[in-house]
Structure 1
Amino acid sequence: MNKQVIFNLPVGDLGKSKAFFAALGFGFNPQMSSDSAAFMNIVDGSIHAMLMSEDCFASFTNKGVVRALEANEVIICLSCESAREVDSLIARAAAAGARIPHPPEDHGNMYDQGFEDLDGHLWNLVWTAGDA
């Protein structure tokens, strides 16, 4: 069995979040989803996110749920195959309602830019030249 990364994210409106990420080209597995959670494929077979309603997410912990619009715990970083892919995903995220907190940064051997999704989760998209 291949190892996979699956992270859980609380979302305020599951339907709106699914539409947002579908606009970025991410798919969903209905067999692993419910009315309160959606299993999102980011990189087929290896990286996934479970988008969970805030109530569903809260049921897995006895801690408070961080509202990413107010504070952040992590920045999710995804590698891209090219700077053009970074720009394309940023453009689709912006068109779907994302906030773009800063312009792209070109460091020669690394190019990156980030977006904030509808719930305030930070995503950074990065391309690096050669082995990183």
Structure 2
Amino acid sequence: MIKAIYVNLPVEDLDRSRSFWTKLGFSFNESFSDDKGLCLMLNDGSIYAMLLKKEFFSTFTNRPVADHNTTQVLLAIEVDSRQKVDEMVKTALENGATRYREAADHGWMYYDCIADPDGHQWEIMYSDPTQIPS
């Protein structure tokens, strides 16, 4: 059984990353944050994103690090409502994110897609499994 997940992502500017995610309502575990990286708490106790300076991130791999022009991973986070999806995307866009795809509404699932200031692609989603067509 998995106790927690830490997604490691390269970033250019830690201050910009801290400001961006704070404005979206998230906080950081300062015990795991320093001048090389930030520990973004997506769900305290179980899901974290380690936002690591690109130079530091590159010490963990023997492969080239993806840049803003490539996609290496898509990250999806689920929130409590469609309204929360729209609110988060609006705030993200106002604070340096870009939209890489238009929102999609499948009835039982709704999501919108942003790239954060470092180019990482995030799907902010809401789903209601009771509404899945049978």
Give the TM interval when normalised to the shorter protein.
over 0.9
TM-score by length of 1: 0.93
- Residues in 2 aligned to 1:77 and 1:52: alpha-carbon distance in whole angstroms: 19
| Partner-residue secondary structure (3-state), 2:84 | helix
For residue 3 of structure 2, what is the amino acid of its counterpart? K
Cα shift at 1:127:
1.0
| CA displacement at 1:104 relative to structure 2 | 1.8
Residue number in structure 1 paired with 2:41: 41
1:64-89 CA-to-partner distances (Å, cap 9, x unmatched) read: 1111x110111000111111111111
Shift >6 Å, 4+ stretches: none
Map residues 46-125 of structure 1 onto 2, 5 A cutoff: 46-67=46-67, 69-125=68-124
5+ unaligned residues in a row in structure 2: which ranges? Answer: none
How far apart, in 1, do the equivalents of 2:45 and 2:35 lie? 23
Q: What are the ranges of 5 or more consecutive residues in structure 1 without an aligned counterpart?
A: none
Measured after TM superposition, the shift of residue 2 of structure 1 is: 7.0
Separation in structure 2 between the aligned mates of residue 124 and residue 106 of structure 1, nearest angstrom: 13
Aligned-pair CA distance for 1:98: 0.5
For residues 89 and 10 of structure 1, the distance between their equivalents in structure 2, rounded to whole angstroms, comes to 22
The SS at the match of 2:51 is strand
- 1: CA distance between counterparts of 2:27 and 2:2? 19
In the comparison of the two structures, how many residue pairs are matched? Answer: 131
Q: State the one-letter code of the partner of 1:7.
A: V
- Note the aligned Cα RMSD (angstroms): 1.6
